Amino acid sequence: MNTAIHVLGHQGRMGSLTCAEIAARTDCVYSGDMESADVVIDFTRADATPDLLARAVRLHKPYVCCVTGLDPAPLRATSEIVPVLHAVNTSVSLAVFKRAVADIAASLRPHGYTVAIHDVHHAAKRDAPSGTALALGAAIGGPVSYTSERMGKVVGEHTVTFTGAHETIALRHAVTDRRVFARGALEAAIWLAKQPAGFYGMDDVLF
């Protein structure tokens, strides 16, 4: 049976891309309202999410939140009632990248290596560092320095640099098409619709 997905912010850039991806798939359908949906994807704004989240709880709908700059505490509280997945970046390869840099950091930190994360995004992006940069830093743990650039129409680039006394390792992840995020959000939504109440991330979907 196809998963019915309601997209909050469906007229926005990411919401419209996600709706287009739904139309191209055979394992899910678009639901025009939250009431008839199996799962909800939120591509709105941090100031809109609390009210939308409360409505999802009333309707007992699984909730995929892709909003940046959000306090995760209300999401965690809600996850005791309905399944909630919070992912500021739904790229499948980013989840693998995050695991890789966390493993490298664990190996190099005892040898005195420092860690820096640099993110580059389009000129209209407001938050800096990006939510993805902060998520990478949280996965790495320990002291991390952050720098950011906002220019042109860059979708998203993140470089993690490990610096030792006489050598450097730099790993870079770049997204060139926002459809990557739409496809990842749909994978997350289809997966979440089958889960019990709990707080999840992309790692749970993929690994």
Q: Could you list the active site residues?
A: 121, 125
Cβ-based neighbours of 54, under 8 Å, separated by 6 or more: none
In degrees to the nearest 10, what's the CA dihedral of 103, 104, 110, 111? 170
Backbone Cα Rg of the chain: 18
**Ramachandran assignment for 136, one of left (phi > 0), alpha (psi -120 to 50 degrees), beta (any other):** alpha
Q: Where would I find the H helices in the chain?
A: 13-24, 49-59, 72-78, 92-108, 131-140, 179-192, 202-206
